[in-house]
Amino acid sequence: MRILRTDESRFRDLPDFPYPAHFTDVGTDSSLRLHYVDHGPAQAAPVVMLHGEHGWSYLYRHMMPLVADAGLRALAPDLIGFGKSDKPDSQQDYSFEKHLDWLEQWLLSLDLHDVTLVCQNRSSLLALALVMRQPDRFSRIIAANAVIPWAHEDDAPVSGLWQMFARYSPWFPVPQLIQLGTTRPLAKSELAAYDAPFPDDRYKAGARSFAGALRQHPRDLNRQRLWNFLESWQKPFITCFSDSDTGTRGAHRPLQRRIPGALGQPHTTLSGGHFLQEDASDSFARVIVDACRPTLAA
């Protein structure tokens, strides 16, 4: 496995991103560095904010101060292949199971407990698989524009077309893909920040392979088993969806209907596109803080 590491100079002077870098070694031979932001009181209850496709921890830059100011510990990891994390340069080096193993190693290395999980879109599959592996470490789940397919739902033609584009297209413009998912125009400096992890196309193997990786079934997980787990989840499960994202419209209904922990929760619809972190950062942060009130009061 050949590993690429984006030079730190690419991340200098990013707008609204003053956070020092933290790294954890993951992988079978500890040769991979996973980057994460750790902002807020070290002993406070942790809020793990997981980015989705195309993004990295920069996505949560406006939310982390609000969460930390409320007395919580905001943690935003970069998946391997994204952000400041290391980037194997072959698409064959990535799979759902590897992403899940790397993320679990990070969680265990920090020995996190009483975690509030914030997850996004189809990467929620990865996040919820992590909860299924380590359920005792999580106190609540906040799912933003989360799509949890049934067993064969991801075989739809549009999913296959997107996977083919991401894997083979000579043009894979990450900043423009982020902009397509927002309702507010991003500044040139913000677009540059989303491009910072990728000096050239060699660094995009993780981003290009992600859609395909999410369709794979690791040895200890299939979609039916995940739904069986969710249908027994009794802890709080809160949906936070946007009003202008046609791709995830209606996906909150089965989550609210089938997950016991969703009953009676303050489910929310916010104004914005796919990336609520960009379009409604203050409101989204309030959803997190309000959900954590019982923890803060303890």
- What percent of the chain has pLDDT above 90? 78
Tell me what pLDDT residue 131 has: 97
Predicted confidence band at 157 (pLDDT cuts at 50, 70, 90)?
A: very low
Question: Which of 23, 32, 29, 30 shows the shortest CA–CA distance to 3?
Answer: 32
Q: What is the mean pLDDT of residues 224-229?
A: 90
End-to-end CA distance of the chain: 46
Give the pTM: 0.94
Tell me what pLDDT residue 258 has: 95
Distance, in Å, from the CA atom of 32 to the CA atom of 81, rounded to the nearest integer, reads 10
Mean pLDDT of all residues belonging to the chain: 91
Q: Name the least confident of 49-53, 71-75, 192-196.
A: 49-53
Distance, in Å, from the CA atom of 298 to the CA atom of 9, rounded to the nearest integer, reads 42
The better pLDDT of the pair 158, 274 is held by: 274
For residue 219, pLDDT beyond 60: no
Predicted confidence band at 294 (pLDDT cuts at 50, 70, 90)?
A: confident
For residue 53, pLDDT beyond 90: no
Identity at 61, one-letter amino acid code:
R
Tell me what pLDDT residue 189 has: 97
Q: Which structure tokens are listed for 15?
A: 């707008």
Task: Quickly tell me which residue has 């946007």 as its tokens.
Answer: 242
Q: Which residues of 150-180 are buried (b: 16+ CB within 10 A; e: fewer)?
A: eeeebeeeebeeebeebeeeeebebbebbbe
Tell me what pLDDT residue 221 has: 64
Distance, in Å, from the CA atom of 188 to the CA atom of 175, rounded to the nearest integer, reads 10
Q: What is the mean pLDDT of residues 88-99?
A: 93
Tell me what pLDDT residue 152 has: 53
pLDDT digits (tens, 9 = 90+) for 109-134: 999 999 999 999 888 999 999 999 99
For residue 148, pLDDT beyond 90: no
For residue 265, pLDDT beyond 90: yes
**3-297 CATH:** 3.40.50.1820
Predicted confidence band at 296 (pLDDT cuts at 50, 70, 90)?
A: confident
For residue 163, pLDDT beyond 80: no
Predicted confidence band at 218 (pLDDT cuts at 50, 70, 90)?
A: low
Q: How many CB atoms lie within 10 A of CB 239?
A: 23
Q: Name the least confident of 52-56, 69-73, 172-176, 218-222.
A: 218-222
Which residues are registered as beta bridge partners of 87?
Answer: 4
Indicate the domain borders of the chain. Answer: 3-297
